[in-house]
Structure 1
């Protein structure tokens, strides 16, 4: 285990640290890490700062509260109804900022791992689904419960439906019921379920394993993964073939294949 560095950050609702190439962004807005308009802006900025730091190879999104994230700040949204437009402008700004946050995670040049301990509901579940990988403790729970309060989880639906089978997604969206972590793993929302006491250790192991790879290769591959999923099959193969050629022409591909043939550890140039 290397030295853990605390990253200077203006947001008191985030605790950002780094160990080696692993940047950890921990939400710290108790009791539920509710996604207020300001908090979503702080999270987006933290991810953008990670993207701009060449020393960052993997990002872990975690929580320092008992709840991972309970979704939007409903008290803030209700208060906006007092405006002359009954809150329409505020609602538009809120959901656009939420969409920007989720897309920032997907488009980030490095992989993002969700470390989930506790409840992740509505836009909190959307956060988990937007990350590239998700590891959860046995105490984690997932739900898109908007239907219970007359607000269908339409934006969480976008990320959810791109991670799990549509019938499982519709079940979560229509019932609003909590999903146990083992079932969340079975339907593809998360990768693994581990005991709470080992959660951080397992996530760190995943992060360090990924961080040891060529960052150029990971960036290229992550972008290609999300691009091809939205294409028809023949277009996806044509696109992926072009990406493979681009990858083969890179220095890290030459080094990696050479190291494999010569039975040695590759020395990445990240280009």
Structure 2
């Protein structure tokens, strides 16, 4: 049996690449361009390090030196920057071929995994705060729990299958886009988000909890806090009021306290 390795290379959903000791890509599959947003001309004309997140550049360069020395790399995680400026998390397994001065690398896009870990971390902190919609949610789902769900804690539903599907990922991206679109509105509510997603509020509650095990309101707060962090990181804003408004909080005091509880640092210190 003859295998068409070139066809396998082209259709693989993982990022497959060969890059030289000189730091430039020599061969890549379509997944690289699709994941990072650059066309092949852009990818081949710049060093690989130019696409790495600045905060991960030092460590990534050190790992590159390790590879050049002849040592393989297993499950190394670092961040790349998409052409639109968003962060892409990749997990690399790489093997050097010293005689040819090239490195064979396979990377998995783990951005969504990292995003869910951050959702989980922030939602755990938010769990200490009273959720006004918790009782309502419990009432909605208590008589209509799907067979593939189990109950953990009071009214808290978790997926038996922890790994989200691609459809789950796509839907949560839509949810986040809807929140980001209206985040500056103090009166942002689930009715508005439900309308954006063409779902009833009941369906919204059930789907978010099915995927993440939290309520939609808590997920909205997670996204709002991420927006606040992004606004601070941009360096464009100088006051707590500006950051709070971007995240949709009318009370600077409440926002500052919430930010401190989640990130462990005062907004004023960052500004």
Q: Give the structure-2-normalised TM-score.
A: 0.27
Higher relative contact order (CA 8 A, sep 6+): 1
Which one has a bigger Cα radius of gyration?
2
Q: Give the structure-1-normalised TM-score.
A: 0.27
